[in-house]
Structure 1
Amino acid sequence: MRIGFVGLSVAVLFLTGCSSQPESMSQSRYEVDSEYVSKVERQARMSGMSNVEVYWVNPPRKEKGANTEGN
């Protein structure tokens, strides 16, 4: 009985330790590239087709604080 309890306790502690992550890892270095998103959506509206909607499944991302180049 005692061996089973100790084994279960070790397993629970091991799984708890593996599931935790440092707080710095939880914050992303990337953000949605809102300039590019608005440019694409604006071009879709102005393409001459009516009722065009853009659905972003995986929106474009850029690094936070990265300078954008004019394309």
Structure 2
Amino acid sequence: MGDDVWQESNVVDEILEADFQKACDVALANGLDLEQVYKYQDPEFFIEHGVKIGISRRFVNDISTWAKEYELSDED
């Protein structure tokens, strides 16, 4: 499952889902992968690029959950 699909699959509201996609697009357009987002924890970057405040914070915070799941899947 792609990184953006993982986060989108955890969002019910279609409008919020679209904003998660926007956060993913902003990250990719700026050469950021999830590991970098996780390491630097900077929701302000996404806010400055037009992503809603709550989505920006959630996007950055949810990366830690992704990282834990990714680490567990690497151990298998």
- TM-score norm. by structure 1 comes to 0.26
Which structure would you say has the larger Rg? 1
User: Larger % of strand: which?
Assistant: 1
- TM-score norm. by structure 2 comes to 0.25
